Amino acid sequence: VSSSLKEASKYIPAAPILLPEGPWKQIPGGVTAAEGFNAAGIFGGLRAKGEKPDLALVTCDVDAISAGAFTTNVVAAAPVIYCKKALNISKTARAVLINAGQANAATGDAGYQDVVECANTVAMLLKMKPEEVLIESTGVVGQRIKKDALLNSLPRLVNSLSSSAEGADSAAVAITTTDLVRKSVAVESQVGGKIIRVGGMAKGSGMIHPNMA
Protein backbone atom coordinates (compact mmCIF):
# COMPACT_ATOMS: atom_id res chain seq x y z
CA VAL A 1 0.00 0.00 0.00
CA SER A 2 2.74 2.43 0.97
CA SER A 3 4.60 2.02 -2.31
CA SER A 4 1.43 2.44 -4.36
CA LEU A 5 0.54 5.61 -2.42
CA LYS A 6 4.08 6.90 -2.92
CA GLU A 7 3.80 6.17 -6.65
CA ALA A 8 0.40 7.87 -6.83
CA SER A 9 1.63 10.95 -4.99
CA LYS A 10 4.44 11.45 -7.48
CA TYR A 11 2.15 11.50 -10.53
CA ILE A 12 2.28 15.30 -10.72
CA PRO A 13 4.58 17.75 -8.93
CA ALA A 14 3.61 19.69 -5.82
CA ALA A 15 2.38 23.26 -6.24
CA PRO A 16 4.47 25.98 -4.68
CA ILE A 17 2.44 26.95 -1.60
CA LEU A 18 2.71 30.69 -0.84
CA LEU A 19 1.76 30.70 2.85
CA PRO A 20 1.19 34.08 4.52
CA GLU A 21 3.58 34.95 7.34
CA GLY A 22 2.39 34.14 10.84
CA PRO A 23 2.94 32.22 14.10
CA TRP A 24 2.89 28.80 12.40
CA LYS A 25 5.34 26.32 10.96
CA GLN A 26 4.74 24.47 7.70
CA ILE A 27 4.84 20.69 8.23
CA PRO A 28 4.43 17.77 5.82
CA GLY A 29 1.21 15.84 5.51
CA GLY A 30 -1.62 17.96 4.13
CA VAL A 31 -4.95 16.50 5.28
CA THR A 32 -3.24 13.76 7.36
CA ALA A 33 -1.05 16.12 9.40
CA ALA A 34 -3.74 16.69 12.02
CA GLU A 35 -4.26 13.95 14.62
CA GLY A 36 -6.81 11.30 13.70
CA PHE A 37 -6.93 11.74 9.91
CA ASN A 38 -6.15 9.22 7.16
CA ALA A 39 -6.22 9.56 3.39
CA ALA A 40 -5.59 7.68 0.15
CA GLY A 41 -5.76 8.30 -3.57
CA ILE A 42 -5.92 5.50 -6.15
CA PHE A 43 -6.63 4.89 -9.83
CA GLY A 44 -10.22 3.69 -10.10
CA GLY A 45 -10.65 3.89 -13.86
CA LEU A 46 -12.93 6.94 -13.74
CA ARG A 47 -11.04 9.33 -16.01
CA ALA A 48 -11.70 9.51 -19.75
CA LYS A 49 -8.10 8.49 -20.43
CA GLY A 50 -4.81 7.79 -18.70
CA GLU A 51 -4.08 6.15 -15.37
CA LYS A 52 -3.69 9.15 -13.08
CA PRO A 53 -5.27 8.45 -9.68
CA ASP A 54 -8.91 9.62 -9.73
CA LEU A 55 -10.50 8.44 -6.48
CA ALA A 56 -9.67 9.80 -3.01
CA LEU A 57 -10.89 9.19 0.51
CA VAL A 58 -10.21 11.15 3.70
CA THR A 59 -11.37 9.62 7.00
CA CYS A 60 -11.28 10.55 10.67
CA ASP A 61 -10.84 8.02 13.47
CA VAL A 62 -13.45 9.85 15.58
CA ASP A 63 -16.62 11.85 14.92
CA ALA A 64 -15.15 15.08 13.52
CA ILE A 65 -16.95 18.39 13.87
CA SER A 66 -17.94 19.22 10.28
CA ALA A 67 -18.39 22.39 8.28
CA GLY A 68 -18.88 23.07 4.61
CA ALA A 69 -19.01 25.89 2.07
CA PHE A 70 -20.76 25.26 -1.23
CA THR A 71 -21.23 26.86 -4.62
CA THR A 72 -24.14 29.31 -4.86
CA ASN A 73 -24.58 28.32 -8.52
CA VAL A 74 -28.29 27.45 -8.83
CA VAL A 75 -27.39 24.44 -10.98
CA ALA A 76 -25.71 22.82 -7.99
CA ALA A 77 -24.22 19.37 -8.58
CA ALA A 78 -25.70 16.27 -6.90
CA PRO A 79 -22.84 15.93 -4.36
CA VAL A 80 -23.34 19.57 -3.33
CA ILE A 81 -27.05 18.99 -2.67
CA TYR A 82 -26.23 15.76 -0.83
CA CYS A 83 -23.58 17.36 1.42
CA LYS A 84 -25.77 20.31 2.34
CA LYS A 85 -28.47 17.87 3.48
CA ALA A 86 -25.94 15.73 5.39
CA LEU A 87 -24.51 18.77 7.20
CA ASN A 88 -28.02 19.83 8.17
CA ILE A 89 -28.71 16.36 9.62
CA SER A 90 -25.39 15.87 11.44
CA LYS A 91 -22.87 18.16 13.14
CA THR A 92 -20.17 15.57 12.70
CA ALA A 93 -18.72 13.55 9.84
CA ARG A 94 -16.21 10.74 9.49
CA ALA A 95 -15.28 10.57 5.78
CA VAL A 96 -15.04 12.53 2.53
CA LEU A 97 -15.08 10.60 -0.77
CA ILE A 98 -13.86 12.53 -3.81
CA ASN A 99 -13.97 11.43 -7.45
CA ALA A 100 -12.45 13.11 -10.49
CA GLY A 101 -13.53 12.62 -14.08
CA GLN A 102 -17.24 13.36 -13.96
CA ALA A 103 -18.82 16.25 -12.03
CA ASN A 104 -22.22 14.58 -11.57
CA ALA A 105 -23.76 17.99 -12.24
CA ALA A 106 -26.89 18.60 -14.34
CA THR A 107 -27.52 14.87 -14.02
CA GLY A 108 -30.99 15.05 -12.44
CA ASP A 109 -32.50 12.52 -10.04
CA ALA A 110 -30.38 9.67 -11.40
CA GLY A 111 -27.23 11.60 -10.55
CA TYR A 112 -28.48 12.19 -7.02
CA GLN A 113 -29.17 8.49 -6.58
CA ASP A 114 -25.59 7.79 -7.66
CA VAL A 115 -24.32 9.97 -4.81
CA VAL A 116 -26.56 8.23 -2.28
CA GLU A 117 -25.37 4.81 -3.43
CA CYS A 118 -21.70 5.84 -3.17
CA ALA A 119 -22.17 7.28 0.32
CA ASN A 120 -24.07 4.19 1.49
CA THR A 121 -21.35 1.87 0.18
CA VAL A 122 -18.53 3.83 1.85
CA ALA A 123 -20.56 3.93 5.09
CA MET A 124 -21.09 0.17 4.95
CA LEU A 125 -17.38 -0.53 4.32
CA LEU A 126 -16.27 1.84 7.11
CA LYS A 127 -19.13 0.91 9.48
CA MET A 128 -20.40 4.50 9.66
CA LYS A 129 -23.77 6.20 9.21
CA PRO A 130 -24.39 7.37 5.59
CA GLU A 131 -24.80 11.01 6.70
CA GLU A 132 -21.29 10.87 8.14
CA VAL A 133 -19.90 10.33 4.64
CA LEU A 134 -19.55 13.48 2.52
CA ILE A 135 -18.95 13.47 -1.23
CA GLU A 136 -17.16 15.81 -3.64
CA SER A 137 -17.00 15.37 -7.42
CA THR A 138 -15.18 17.17 -10.19
CA GLY A 139 -14.80 16.71 -13.93
CA VAL A 140 -17.03 16.94 -16.96
CA VAL A 141 -20.30 18.73 -16.20
CA GLY A 142 -23.38 16.85 -17.43
CA GLN A 143 -21.91 13.38 -17.09
CA ARG A 144 -22.91 10.85 -14.44
CA ILE A 145 -20.12 9.17 -12.50
CA LYS A 146 -18.80 5.80 -13.68
CA LYS A 147 -20.52 4.22 -10.69
CA ASP A 148 -19.59 0.57 -11.24
CA ALA A 149 -15.90 1.39 -11.60
CA LEU A 150 -16.13 3.61 -8.52
CA LEU A 151 -17.97 1.11 -6.31
CA ASN A 152 -15.67 -1.73 -7.38
CA SER A 153 -12.63 0.38 -6.36
CA LEU A 154 -13.88 1.23 -2.87
CA PRO A 155 -12.54 -1.83 -1.00
CA ARG A 156 -9.04 -1.20 -2.44
CA LEU A 157 -9.37 2.52 -1.58
CA VAL A 158 -10.36 1.76 2.02
CA ASN A 159 -7.46 -0.70 2.34
CA SER A 160 -5.06 1.99 1.06
CA LEU A 161 -5.94 4.52 3.77
CA SER A 162 -2.88 5.86 5.59
CA SER A 163 -2.08 8.58 8.13
CA SER A 164 1.21 9.21 6.29
CA ALA A 165 2.15 12.20 4.12
CA GLU A 166 2.03 9.86 1.10
CA GLY A 167 -1.60 9.17 1.91
CA ALA A 168 -2.33 12.90 1.85
CA ASP A 169 -0.28 13.54 -1.29
CA SER A 170 -1.83 10.65 -3.23
CA ALA A 171 -5.29 12.00 -2.35
CA ALA A 172 -4.23 15.48 -3.50
CA VAL A 173 -3.31 13.99 -6.90
CA ALA A 174 -6.50 11.93 -7.20
CA ILE A 175 -8.80 14.96 -6.87
CA THR A 176 -7.18 16.88 -9.76
CA THR A 177 -8.58 17.36 -13.25
CA THR A 178 -6.72 19.79 -15.56
CA ASP A 179 -4.41 20.83 -12.71
CA LEU A 180 -0.69 20.69 -13.52
CA VAL A 181 0.28 20.41 -9.84
CA ARG A 182 -1.13 18.88 -6.64
CA LYS A 183 -2.13 21.33 -3.91
CA SER A 184 -1.56 20.28 -0.32
CA VAL A 185 -0.27 22.06 2.79
CA ALA A 186 -0.25 21.75 6.58
CA VAL A 187 0.82 24.02 9.43
CA GLU A 188 1.50 23.52 13.13
CA SER A 189 0.80 26.30 15.61
CA GLN A 190 -0.21 26.99 19.18
CA VAL A 191 -3.78 27.53 20.33
CA GLY A 192 -4.20 28.27 24.02
CA GLY A 193 -0.65 27.11 24.61
CA LYS A 194 -1.21 23.70 23.03
CA ILE A 195 0.13 22.48 19.67
CA ILE A 196 -2.56 22.07 16.98
CA ARG A 197 -2.29 21.25 13.31
CA VAL A 198 -4.34 22.50 10.36
CA GLY A 199 -3.92 20.87 6.96
CA GLY A 200 -5.67 20.76 3.66
CA MET A 201 -5.74 19.89 0.01
CA ALA A 202 -7.43 21.53 -2.92
CA LYS A 203 -7.83 21.26 -6.68
CA GLY A 204 -8.73 23.70 -9.37
CA SER A 205 -7.44 25.18 -12.58
CA GLY A 206 -10.44 26.05 -14.79
CA MET A 207 -14.05 27.15 -14.15
CA ILE A 208 -12.71 29.09 -11.19
CA HIS A 209 -14.68 31.98 -9.74
CA PRO A 210 -15.90 30.56 -6.43
CA ASN A 211 -18.82 32.14 -4.60
CA MET A 212 -19.30 29.69 -1.77
CA ALA A 213 -21.63 30.01 1.19
CB of 44 to another protein, least distance (A): 16
CB of 161 to another protein, least distance (A): 14
Is 196 an interacting residue with respect to another protein (CB under 8 A)? yes
Nearer to another protein, 3 or 127 (CB): 127
CB of 92 to another protein, least distance (A): 8
What length is written for the chain? 213
Q: What mask, x for binding another protein by CB under 8 A, covers residues 97 to 136?
A: -x----xxxx---------------------------x-x
Cα-Cα-Cα-Cα dihedral of 189, 183, 47, 113, to 10°? 40
Q: What mask, x for binding another protein by CB under 8 A, covers residues 69 to 98?
A: xxxxx-xxx-xx--x-------xxx--x-x
- Which DSSP string corresponds to 72-84? --SS--HHHHHHH
How many residues bind another protein (CB under 8 A)? The answer is 90
Is 46 an interacting residue with respect to another protein (CB under 8 A)? no
Q: What mask, x for binding another protein by CB under 8 A, covers residues 136 to 165?
A: xxxxxxxx----------------------
Burial class of residue 12, CB neighbours in 10 A (0-12, 13-18, 19+): middle
* Phi/psi of residue 112, nearest 5 degrees: -65, -40
Closest CA relative to residue 206, chosen from 178, 168, 166, 164? 178
CB of 169 to another protein, least distance (A): 13
Q: 112, 82 in Cβ contact below 8 A? A: yes
Is 185 an interacting residue with respect to another protein (CB under 8 A)? yes
- 3-class secondary structure, 85: helix
Sole binder of another protein in the list 2, 51, 61, 120 (CB under 8 A): 61
The two beta strands, 24-27 and 183-191, are: antiparallel
CB of 163 to another protein, least distance (A): 11
